[in-house]
Chain A
Amino acid sequence: MSTIHKSPWLLHYDGSSCNGCDIEVLACTTPVYDVERFGVINTGNPMHADIFLVTGGVNSQNASVVKQIYEQMPEPKVVIAVGTCACTGGIFKECYNIKGGADTVIPVDIYVPGCAARPESIIDGVVKGVALFKEKAAKLAASEKAN
């Protein structure tokens, strides 16, 4: 039985957001929401991360950074865009430097809307992400077996 979904480690990347969503993401780790009860760890290192949490839109300066960090994460991995900006670019969308949401540079699996996204919805997104993570892991294992 695979238990891989019981240990989803997060990497939180802040694009060009207003910091509202970032504070809500951190709020998830506080005693009130305690996301660690799902085995979630907020790691600071893409090499150790399973779930990539992007807040804020992508601009021309950080596009390459987001891409590189995504590449440095080992498979299986899940990307969650948290907040309206990360989903679509939000109110910054028309700015000269903004490319749009996170999905303009990397494939996003789960979108968590809200401005700012509420901790409950973030946790909801993460839990969905964890389910997807398990699915992807199973797929990866199957394809490895096939090889």
Chain B
Amino acid sequence: MTVQTKVILAVCYIILAPVVIGLLDGFDRKISARMQGRKGPSVLQPFYDLKKLFEKEALCANRAQLFLIRSYLMFIMLSGVLFFAGYDLLLVVFALSTSAVFLILAATSTHSPFSSQGTHRELAQIMACEPMELLVAVGFYLATVPRTFNVEFISKSFSPNIIYLPGFFIGFVFILTIKFRKSPFDISTSHHAHQEVVKGVTAEMVGREYALVTLAEWYESAVLYGIVGLFFMSRNPFSIVYAIIAILVVWFLEIVIDNTSARVKWQLMLKLAWGVTIIAAGMNLFLLEIIRSNIR
């Protein structure tokens, strides 16, 4: 890829990611409503919400919050740019986890009971998800020939990597439910309105601040869906169609999970997430290693 293409891809990401993910979110709410026998809001609802939040009065519980949230957003955008411009996948994962630290600091800076409670659960969530995210990067590295963390080369591998990485895929889709803050794991904060710790990490974020966090989450979702797509990408130009189909299937699966499952506690979340990571991704990893050493 030339530098120009990279820049174009990065700009596309910055412009299109909120549009696409916002629309997916709108359809998510529509489909959820239909599943529950309701009419549901307009598909543009997420954009109306975002716009409104920007127009609300600025309140602050702690002055430090806004700048930390902005840093959070910028770091997520940076990791997204790194991902879509085809740079190192492991660095993308590291940048994502660094950005999460900003969110956590923003939430605890207020010393509010609900957002602090949410923060600790958020930390538990990060701890539950991070091994799997790192393992996905490792999986791609092992599966691609020649081995690389480079997203560009991974997306141009000889055959779709899902063939070698089914366990990784299962594990990754599992933690996506946590990452997207869907029902079974709506622990630190939920994408639904109501939950036990008020709104968790975002409890003290008002108007613009909350809008920025929402936007950051959209950008993050774009990267995560991108990784889902990466499992299906190959040298074949049609593979992008498979990738999009896969993303839509995963997206629909998450809606179904969201609408059919009750919530779980964070203790169970940690056990489940780590268990699935170890069993699905760990076994897959071990098999890959064995195959590889036999080839040599």
Contacts and interface: CB of A to CB of B under 8 A. Distances in A.
A74 B267 CA distance: 35
Interface stretch (A36-44, A80-88, A90-98): A36-44
Interface string A104-147: 00000000000000000000000000000000010011000000
A74 B37 CA distance: 33
Contact of A44 (B39, B194, B204): B194
A67 interface: no
Contacts of A38: 41
B48 A6 contact: yes
A47 to B, nearest CB: 5
A47 B206 contact: yes
Contacts of B37: 31
B58 A43 contact: no
A7 B52 contact: yes
B265 interface: no
B19 to A, nearest CB: 16
B124 interface: no
Interface residues of B, number: 32
B205 A47 contact: yes
Interface in B37-54: 37-42, 45, 48-49, 51-52
Interface in B188-245: 193-195, 198-199, 202-207, 210
A4 B210 CA distance: 16
Contacts of A75: 56-57
A44 B195 contact: yes
A74 B52 CA distance: 12
A37 B55 contact: no
B197 to A, nearest CB: 9
Nearest to A141: B55
Given A37-B39, A47-B204, A48-B199, A74 B193 contact: no
A34 B39 CA distance: 7
Given A37-B38, A74-B57, 11 more contacts: A7-B45, A36-B38, A39-B41, A42-B193, A43-B193, A43-B194, A48-B202, A50-B56, A74-B56, A75-B56, A137-B55
Interface string B27-44: 001000100111111100
A36 B9 CA distance: 36
B16 interface: no
B59 interface: yes
Nearest to B207: A74
Nearest to B55: A4
Contacts of B199: 43-45, 47-48
Given A7-B52, A72-B59, A76-B57, A44 B198 contact: yes
Contacts of B33: 34, 36-37
A137 B231 CA distance: 46
